[in-house]
Each structure stands twice: as structure tokens, then as C-alpha cells.
Amino acid sequence: MFVNKYWRRTVHAARMMQFLLFGWNSSWTANIGLGSSRSEKLRWLIFSRAYYRLIGLWSLPIRNSGRKKRIKLGQLLSCSRFQSQKADSLASESMAGKHFKYVILGGGVAAGYAAREFVKQGLKPGELAIISKEAVAPYERPALSKAYLFPQGAARLPGFHVCVGSGGERLLPEWYIEKGIDLILSTEIVKADLASKFLTSASGVAFTYEILIIATGSMVIKLSDFGVQGANANNIFYLREIEDADKLVDAIQSKKNGKAVIVGGGYIGLELSAAMRINNFDVTMVYPEPWCMPRLFTAEIAAFYEGYYVSKGVKIIKGTVAVGFDVDLNTNVKSVKLKDGRVLDADIVVVGVGGRPLTSLFKGQVEEEKGGIKTDGYFKTSVPNVYAVGDVATFPLKLYREMRRVEHVDHARKSAEQAVKGIKAIEAGKTIEEYDYLPYFYSRSFDLSWQFYGDNIGDTVLFGDNNPTSSKPKFGSYWIKDGKVVGAFLESGSPEENKAISKVARVQPSVLDLRQLQIEGLQFASKI
């Protein structure tokens, strides 16, 4: 019994010595119940120093075979009986885990914006935990395919932690400590029991909660998923997390001025082709569709970007796919085999063929629709006290009166904030407006920058200078359905002009003469 009596103090001392040597880590403080405020840390730091000095000096009274004697704490720590009970105690603590009022599962953009909103709405220390598979605090993911890959002046953390992407405060790791938020990093949850409100990590640590926000995002689709020969070779990259970007940066530096093949003609394909070209690689894009970004671009819009990329030295191969990869003796990729029979030399291959929402943990436990977790306008799921935001949520798009799932950073930010506002409104007995999202997409590559708002359905009207050889091209497009403008796109717009086209997409003004709309072009938006 004496072991149990003094064990918890000793655990605190030993763990605080770990803090002194290796720094504060909330993943292990969670197991021993330490608070995260500065005053609590200071208190335990002082205590740990005292315990450490006294380990060899303290003697504890014990009874052995009816006789009293004293044993030094240092001897106690090394005895087999103590070691056995210590292991049992650690195992018990690991299984018990820790309880939080709120848990955000996922450490991406949505998690950071949700945490900021919790603090705005009122959060007590110790109430909120973010559990993330990644090893760093939430950051603005779009930087990975843009400035992170620049050959000079590249973006690096802590420069693009959330919430700088929307012009807000940069939330450094210290911010979470100051606000009493447990940032539990490098922790993969492998089991989720929504009925029991129980999460289990890969290492066996359990977490319980009162309210869960699912912000697990998406995973990349890999060519190996389709059995493509050689798809697991070295120097074939996918870009989703900062660890992926770091590996790509290392390859860029080791394969200077080499050959890169980009598989895919969507967001990642276009942005990575530009990044690799800026790094002076010989770049070839390969995609099966008749033009790039087919889910958003019209053929006319795509023709501009394809022409511009060609003018920058990017080669484009359309209408075929990669069916295999050749490797050298070290299993490094050396060429890409296409379905049409062509073989492309490659030092680096980057694949961007889409993603899938990470919802497998919740299959059979929550209602799904259109590939995501079905929610209402406050991002509540079919399970009480469980919310889903960002890529995984299929939500009511109020503007178009339909359910939709949106994969974009803007929606990740705004849906996370909406969910937290809804949670806090319920707790306060108040109501808030339902989510009323205007779809928004953007991209930047080379000297280009475009924005799109609304829906890309119906007839299209192209306006402006879309000649890829122009010194300063500037053009746009409207989408018209049932006599109303429902979507608007603009390349190289000013902040005021981009705001104007977003207003057009929101207001949906009527249009009678498409020819007149083409003549007016951007002026039409400025009048709304």
C-alpha cells in the first residue's frame, strides 16, 4: 500500500524531470492530469526539483514481517515490487486517458479556426483538446503547394500557422498553452465509439469527451490504390501534409535541374507544375481530361492557362494516364509509362489525382450523404453532440437549396467557426443563423491569380483579354442559369474587383442580353 500512497507524487516528479530535459508536451501531461496554465507549470516545476533532490534523502516508514524499518526513496524506486506496481499504474492511467468537454479530432486548418472561435466565445483552461496525427500545430495548408516550394524566400513555420491565411492572428504553439488548450500532436486515433463518446489512439491511449468536432479532412488518392505498377517507388510524391512537402523539398534540392512529371491536371497539378518550373525543372504535366481543372474551368478558361504554362516551358500531355513506373537498382523512379505508349524520363514524380474524405472511423455510426458525413446548417450530425466540418461534411448549401460537400480551405475555416458558434449558442440558450455559404475557390501560380465565386452551371459568357501571350492578361467569365448570374470567375483582379464578382454570385442579378453582358464584362459586376 505504501507504494500506491507515494507513487503519484513520484510520477509527477519524474515527468517534470522529462519536462526539464525535453520540453512541455501536452500528450504526456494529459495522462497525469497536469494543468496547462503558466502558474500550474511553475508550481509543478518547483515541486519536481524538490522531489528530485530528496529522492536519495527521503526515507519512508514501512513494516516488514512485523518489524518497522525505513527505506530510502531511491531504493524504493528500484525495487521489483515498486516497478511492477508502477507498470500497472502507468497502464491504468493510459487506459483511463483524459476527459475533455470539447475534442476536435484532426489538426488541420479547421481545427485552428475552431480553437480560435472557442476562445472568442469563452473557453476555460482544460476544456478543449485538439488531437492531431501531425507533429505541428495547425497551419495554413495551401502554402505547401505554393510558397513552401519556392527556391528563394520559401515559407516556413511558424510563418504560416493559422489564422494568417484569412488575415488573422498567427496562432503559435504557445498560444494554445496560454489559452489552456491541450494540443495533442503525433497522435493517431484508430477507433471512435460515438455512442460511448470514446476515442482510442494507436498507442492505446483513450480520450473521452462531451462534444466532438470531426475535422479529419481528406486523404490523397494514391496510384498504388489502383495497382499501378511501380507506384511505390522512391521519389513519387503526394502532397497533403507538411511532412510530404519536406520530403519533396529534399528531393528538389538533391535532383537539381532534373526532370519532373506531374500526374494530374487539377489544383495540385497546376500549382506543382508551376512550382517545379520555378525550381528550374524540366516539367511535363499528364492528365486524362480534355483540359485542365475540368471540374471548374470551361474549355475557354482552361485554354488560357494551358497556353500560359506552355509559354513558361511546361509540356502538357492530355488524354492519357500513367500506367506504370520504371525504377533503378535503388528503387528510385526513373521513368513514367503512359497508356498511349509513351515513356517519360523522370527524376521526380508528383501525383495529384484527388482525395477522399477521412470518414472511415465513423462508418455505420453516423448518417452519410454524397461521400461525406451529413450535417445540418450548424454542422450537427445525426449523432447528438457530434459535429463535422470541412472536407468531411455534407451540408445544406442554402443559396442553392441542395446538400453539398466542399473541399476547400475557405469552407474549412468558415464551417469550423460556424460549428463552434452553434455549440456555444446551444449552451447559452440562444439561436444563430444557419450556415449560408457562398462557394469560393482561388489559386496562385507563376504571376497569375484567379478567384471564383458561386456555381459553375449554365451558360457561360467570357470577357476580357484571355490571350496567354499578353503582357498583362486579365479576363473573366460569368455563369448564367435561368436568366440569372450564378457564378463569376476573374483572373488578375484587384481586391475591389474580386469583391464585386463575389457580390454578383451572391445577389444573382438577372441578365436579359448575354451579348451585352460580354461587352460590359467587369463593369457589370461593378454596378451591382
Give pLDDT tens digits for 16-47: 444 433 344 443 343 334 444 444 444 444 44
Q: By the 8 A CB rule, do 197 and 97 touch? A: no
Q: Which of 223, 224, 219 is nearest to 321 (CA)?
A: 223
Phi, psi values for residue 298, rounded to 5°: -80, 170
Helix (H) or strand (E) holding 39: helix 38-54
Other Cβ atoms less than 10 A from the Cβ of 158: the count is 14
Distance in angstroms (rounded) separating the CA atoms of residues 462 and 518: 6
Say what the pLDDT of residue 315 is.
98
Alpha helix locations (H) across 430-513?
495-507
Helix (H) or strand (E) holding 63: strand 59-64
Distance in angstroms (rounded) separating the CA atoms of residues 325 and 342: 12
What cell was used for 470? Answer: 499578353
Distance in angstroms (rounded) separating the CA atoms of residues 289 and 321: 9
Distance in angstroms (rounded) separating the CA atoms of residues 354 and 411: 17
Q: Which of 465, 467, 472 is nearest to 522 (CA)?
A: 465
Other Cβ atoms less than 10 A from the Cβ of 173: the count is 17
Other Cβ atoms less than 10 A from the Cβ of 59: the count is 14
Distance in angstroms (rounded) separating the CA atoms of residues 71 and 510: 88
51-60's contacts with Cβ under 8 Å and 24+ in sequence apart are 51/9, 51/10, 51/12, 51/13, 51/16, 52/13, 52/17, 55/13, 60/2, 60/6
Residues in a beta bridge with 344:
336
Q: Show Cβ contacts of residue 255 under 8 Å, excluding neighbours closer than 6 positions.
A: 235, 281, 347, 348
Distances in Å between the alpha carbon of 53 and those of 14, 32, 41?
12, 21, 18
Residues in a beta bridge with 464:
475
Compute the radius of gyration of the chain from its Cα atoms.
28
Give the pairing type, strands 393-397 and 206-214.
unpaired
Distance in angstroms (rounded) separating the CA atoms of residues 47 and 110: 38
Helix (H) or strand (E) holding 327: strand 322-327
Looking up cell 536519495 gives 56
Distance in angstroms (rounded) separating the CA atoms of residues 253 and 424: 48
Say what the pLDDT of residue 97 is.
75
Phi, psi values for residue 441, rounded to 5°: -135, 150
Distance in angstroms (rounded) separating the CA atoms of residues 18 and 96: 21
Looking up cell 507544375 gives 273
Say what the pLDDT of residue 6 is.
40
Say what the pLDDT of residue 96 is.
54
Give every residue of the chain whose pLDDT is below 70, as ranges: 1-96
